[in-house]
Structure 1
Amino acid sequence: MTDDRRYPTRPFLAVSAAVFRAGQVLLVRRAQPPSAGPWTLPGGVVEAGETLHTAVVRELREETALEIAPVALAGHREVIVHDAEGRTERHFVVLSFAARWIAGEPVLDAELAAFAWHDPAAVAGLQTTEGLAEIVAAAQAILRAG
């Protein structure tokens, strides 16, 4: 099977969620390169014909078995990975949502290696994907305001 996300002809649209439960935010670690290692938010690619809210709910259910309620967009990140020759190997535009935990306990799918509920104030001190602390802070502010 080929990976059509490698050496794309266009960026892929993806969603993620900063899910809060009892004041803690859910972070995950990816199981496979190139994203393995740092803490990040769960999520994935939006499918054709799918709304952003439907996509983020589906992705969180698939990856973590959690039921969530997306509240609002908390920010975005562009993930662009170049190979040794400078060619664009991967390109994702990720829209990150603030979300509330509704039900379930994390059960990780094969894409994820680990999960943990973290104090949002501690996220900046962790090894994370770029800009994660800012997304988590924005999501926390949205949930506090709402």
Structure 2
Amino acid sequence: MSSRAYPDRPLLAASAAVFRDGRVLLAARGRDPGRGVFTLPGGLVEPGETLAQAAQREVLEETGLSVEIVGFAGHREVIERDADGRVARHFVVCAFAARWQEGEPVPSEEAPAFRWADPATLDHLPVTEGLQPIIAEARALIGQAETA
């Protein structure tokens, strides 16, 4: 069993809604659960990292992009139970708004495809549950940062 399956406690993760030219970067999941579903790049927080540092590092590792973290856009709790009602997965994902600085997304086993999507429609892609409100909040933060 993976250390992420049937955890003893919730796992803390960080992600980022990266904006470039008014569009948001979505990454296709390369592994189950959710293989082929689009979401924000991100991953687990490492000891000693702030949430924002983890989001920035995960974006770089997963996509090859350098980004500037603008602000906190919200969180999601992912709790999956098995047929017996036991907690099979439990993640708390803290999402940030980020501005693209440099680089182009590089596909990998973890994220085999990327799309710079319209933040209002997400290009009608299959996306993870609860993604739209996070992106809407991130988009508002990016807009506030640009007018400040």
Determine helix, strand or coil for the equivalent of 1:113. Answer: coil
User: How far apart are residue 48 of structure 1 and its match?
Assistant: 0.8
Map 1:106-121 to 2 at 5 A. 106-121=105-120
Counterpart residue type for residue 132 of structure 1: L
Indicate the larger mover: 105-114 or 85-94: 105-114
Alignment partner, residue 6 of structure 1: 5
User: How far apart are residue 133 of structure 1 and its match?
Assistant: 0.8
The 1:79/1:124 distance shift into structure 2, 3 A limit, reads farther
**For residues 77 and 133 of structure 1, what CA distance do their matches in structure 2 show?**
11
Contact 2:60 2:66 (C-alpha < 8 Å) held by counterparts: yes
Alignment partner, residue 39 of structure 2: 40
Indicate the larger mover: 107-116 or 25-34: 107-116
What is the CA deviation profile of residues 45-89 of structure 1, one whole-angstrom value per residue up to 9, with x for unaligned ones?
000111112111110111000000111100100011111222111
User: How far apart are residue 114 of structure 1 and its match?
Assistant: 1.1
CA-based RMSD: 1.2
**For residues 124 and 78 of structure 1, what CA distance do their matches in structure 2 show?**
24
**For residues 34 and 84 of structure 1, what CA distance do their matches in structure 2 show?**
16
Q: Give runs of ≥4 in structure 1 deviating > 4 Å.
A: none
Give the paired residue count: 145
**For residues 64 and 80 of structure 1, what CA distance do their matches in structure 2 show?**
26
Alignment partner, residue 91 of structure 1: 90
Which consecutive residues of structure 1, in runs of 5 or more, have no partner in the other structure? none
Percent identity over the alignment is 55
What is the CA deviation profile of residues 8-46 of structure 1, one whole-angstrom value per residue up to 9, with x for unaligned ones?
010000000000000010001111111213211000000
Q: TM-score under structure 1 normalisation?
A: 0.94
Counterpart residue type for residue 25 of structure 1: V
User: How far apart are residue 141 of structure 1 and its match?
Assistant: 0.4
Alignment partner, residue 142 of structure 1: 141
Map 1:72-91 to 2 at 5 A. 72-91=71-90
Q: TM-score under structure 2 normalisation?
A: 0.93
What is the CA deviation profile of residues 117-136 of structure 1, one whole-angstrom value per residue up to 9, with x for unaligned ones?
00111128432111111111
